Amino acid sequence: MAQLWGGRFTKATDRTVCDFNASIRFDRRLFHEDIEGSMAHVTMLARQKILTERERDEILKGLSGIREDVDNGKLDIDETCEDIHSFVEAELIRRIGDTGKKMHTGRSRNDQVALDMRLYTRKHVIRADGLLRELLTVILAVMEENLGTYMPGFTHLQKAQPTTLAHHYGAYFEMFRRDRQRMADIYRRMNYCPLGAGALAGTTYPLDREYTASLMGFAGPTQNSMDSVSDRDYLIEFLSALSTVMMHLSRFSEEIIIWNSNEYQFVEIDDAYSTGSSIMPQKKNPDVAELIRGKTGRVYGALMALLTTMKGIPLAYNKDMQEDKELTFDAIDTVEDCLTLFAGMLRTMRFRKERMAASAMNGFTNATDAADYLVGKGVPFRDAHGIIGRLVLYCVEKKTSIDRLSLEELQGISDKFEEDIYDAVSLETCVEKRLTIGGPGQEAMKAVIGKHRAYLEEGTLRDSE
């Protein structure tokens, strides 16, 4: 297949160079965006009288024919072409002849690819936002059903204070909500059209860049043509936001793996989301959660790779930038899969509420509340901390818990203990009295859940299209 640029060469490109240089194997993914961008471009060219209306119509018809034929499998994208832009142009010229050669007037592949990639990425920023919203819906449903499902809260993976499943999930609700906010920020910042920047210095044709931008739903055109062809910040921001999504998914996966372990048995992952072992018949493994945790690495990798690729590139376009595509595509595929699978796993996972509550009952998760009880009886907190520390030691030696000690035993350690200590250190009291904003007590949680409901009813990024 002929190249777009043979004129000044006297010798054919070496085969190995063609293969090394070509991007069609992966930028074929930009086919629809490439057609969309070209349609907007020629529409603008005709409006500016750079093309006649007839030429415009011929080109538009040719382009929609190509799109249709590729979409319904009548035409294969020819992988001997250098890139998707060359394929579309060559195919157009093959179909409509010389008029097709006018399509690239006032355009370079540099602004063309910058546009294609931006259109593609914009779509996937919107998709990530939608998938995150679906995940938040699943999380909120679990929260609403589990306001009174007690479980231990941990620090250092040691039991710390009792909390509820709703409260624990609520932490992830906050994380994934911030992830959505990051998508919205990125969308706002990236939604400017680079087309019309030309190779790097704009063009002498009277292009109407405002018009082209509006045809494709951008907020406006970019403001510096050199930046337009060499900006990949929006991809770095997107990969960074995707990395953060993966970090959150990975932490949640790790907890599910722990909760699903034989030792904890807080949850049971549904059969549909578990896998077996080829040798050990008893096994039901949390492979989905493990894979999500594992795939976090490749998304971080894409971010680090693109940051590194970009760091030494002088203005404006350099071929290094072609490397942005495979990295971004792989990260997008990975995160979209992980979000979908994770939401499915969460939706079908069962909770063993008795085991969670039993676990919250032991391990001295009520020790802070016992100290607070003494504070209520006039003991300074630091002294109360020391008294309860000795009480815990006593319980450890006796293999019992604070709430199971007799009043005599308790008073043997401090004469401040009275009958009301039992109520003060009960699981219910420990949780339900924690009513500060953001705490696990039911009344505090209900207020937050109400806000979450309203938030999920707000518009999505898709609505801004």
Rounded to a whole number of angstroms, the minimum distance from the CB of residue 302 to ligand ARG is 16
Annotated catalytic residue within 23, 38, 104, 156: 156
452 is catalytic: no
Outline where DSSP puts E strands in 115-180: 150-155, 158-164
What's 399's DSSP letter? Answer: T
What's 219's DSSP letter? Answer: S
Q: Tell which one of 56, 109, 133, 434 touches ligand ARG (CB under 6 A).
A: 109
Query: By CB under 6 A, which span of 105-113, 220-228, 259-267, 334-342 interacts with ligand ARG?
Result: 105-113
For residues 27 and 33, which CB has a smaller minimum distance to ligand ARG in the complex?
27
How many CB atoms neighbour CB 368 within 10 A? 17
Rounded to a whole number of angstroms, the minimum distance from the CB of residue 23 to ligand ARG is 4
Rounded to a whole number of angstroms, the minimum distance from the CB of residue 83 to ligand ARG is 4
Query: By CB under 6 A, which span of 54-62, 71-79, 106-114, 254-262 interacts with ligand ARG?
Result: 106-114
- For 201-215, letters b (16+ CB in 10 Å) and e give ebbeeebbbeebbbb
* Token duo for residue 364: 């001295």
For residues 169 and 317, which CB has a smaller minimum distance to ligand ARG in the complex?
317
For residues 83 and 432, which CB has a smaller minimum distance to ligand ARG in the complex?
83
For residues 125 and 229, which CB has a smaller minimum distance to ligand ARG in the complex?
229
For residues 122 and 180, which CB has a smaller minimum distance to ligand ARG in the complex?
122
User: How many residues bind ligand ARG, per CB under 6 A?
Assistant: 10
Residue 296 lies near ligand ARG (rule: CB under 6 A): no
Residue pair 136/128 in contact (Cβ under 8 Å)? The answer is no
Residue 83 lies near ligand ARG (rule: CB under 6 A): yes
Q: Return the half-sphere exposure (C-beta side, CA atoms, 13 A cut-off) of residue 290.
A: 10
For residues 108 and 253, which CB has a smaller minimum distance to ligand ARG in the complex?
108
Residue 86 lies near ligand ARG (rule: CB under 6 A): no
Q: Tell which one of 45, 46, 88, 113 touches ligand ARG (CB under 6 A).
A: 113
Q: Tell which one of 38, 99, 110, 161 touches ligand ARG (CB under 6 A).
A: 110
Mapped onto helix, strand or coil, the DSSP state of residue 108 is: coil
CA distance 90 to 165: 59
Residue pair 289/268 in contact (Cβ under 8 Å)? The answer is no
* Token duo for residue 36: 């969309």
Rounded to a whole number of angstroms, the minimum distance from the CB of residue 233 to ligand ARG is 16
For residues 63 and 316, which CB has a smaller minimum distance to ligand ARG in the complex?
316
Which element (helix H / strand E) includes 192?
A: strand 192-193
- Given 3-state DSSP classes, what are the helix, strand and coil percentages for the chain, each rounded to the nearest 5? 65, 5, 30
Residue pair 181/386 in contact (Cβ under 8 Å)? The answer is no
Rounded to a whole number of angstroms, the minimum distance from the CB of residue 182 to ligand ARG is 26
Please give the residue whose beta carbon sits closest to ligand ARG in the complex.
322
Residue 322 lies near ligand ARG (rule: CB under 6 A): yes
Tell the burial category of 290 from Cβ atoms under 10 Å away from its Cβ (0-12, 13-18, 19+): middle
- The radius of gyration of the chain from alpha carbons, rounded to an integer in Å, stands at 31
Query: By CB under 6 A, which span of 163-171, 317-325, 360-368, 382-390 interacts with ligand ARG?
Result: 317-325
For residues 82 and 432, which CB has a smaller minimum distance to ligand ARG in the complex?
82
Rounded to a whole number of angstroms, the minimum distance from the CB of residue 342 to ligand ARG is 32
Which residue, 129, 233, 130, is CA-closest to 179? Answer: 129
Contacts with ligand ARG in 114-173 (CB under 6 A)? Answer: none
DSSP structure string for 5-55: -GGG-SSPPPHHHHHHH--HHHHGGGHHHHHHHHHHHHHHHHHTTSS-HHH
Read off φ and ψ for residue 192, nearest 5 degrees. -125, 145
For residues 199 and 435, which CB has a smaller minimum distance to ligand ARG in the complex?
199
Residue 317 lies near ligand ARG (rule: CB under 6 A): yes
Annotated catalytic residue within 104, 240, 277, 359: 277
Query: By CB under 6 A, which span of 10-18, 108-116, 189-197, 393-401 interacts with ligand ARG?
Result: 108-116
156 is catalytic: yes
Query: By CB under 6 A, which span of 118-126, 318-326, 374-382, 396-404 interacts with ligand ARG?
Result: 318-326
Rounded to a whole number of angstroms, the minimum distance from the CB of residue 133 to ligand ARG is 31
Torsion, Cα of 406, 407, 409, 412 (10° steps): 180
Rounded to a whole number of angstroms, the minimum distance from the CB of residue 88 to ligand ARG is 12
* Token duo for residue 32: 């629809």
Cis peptide upstream of residue 316 (ω within 30 degrees of 0): yes
- Show the CA angle centred on residue 377, arms to residues 372 and 381, nearest 5°: 45
Nearby residues of 20 by Cβ (< 8 Å), 6 or more positions away: none
Rounded to a whole number of angstroms, the minimum distance from the CB of residue 346 to ligand ARG is 37
Contacts with ligand ARG in 2-41 (CB under 6 A)? Answer: 23, 27
Active site residues: 156, 277
Q: Which residues bind ligand ARG (CB under 6 A)?
A: 23, 27, 83, 109-110, 113, 317, 319, 321-322
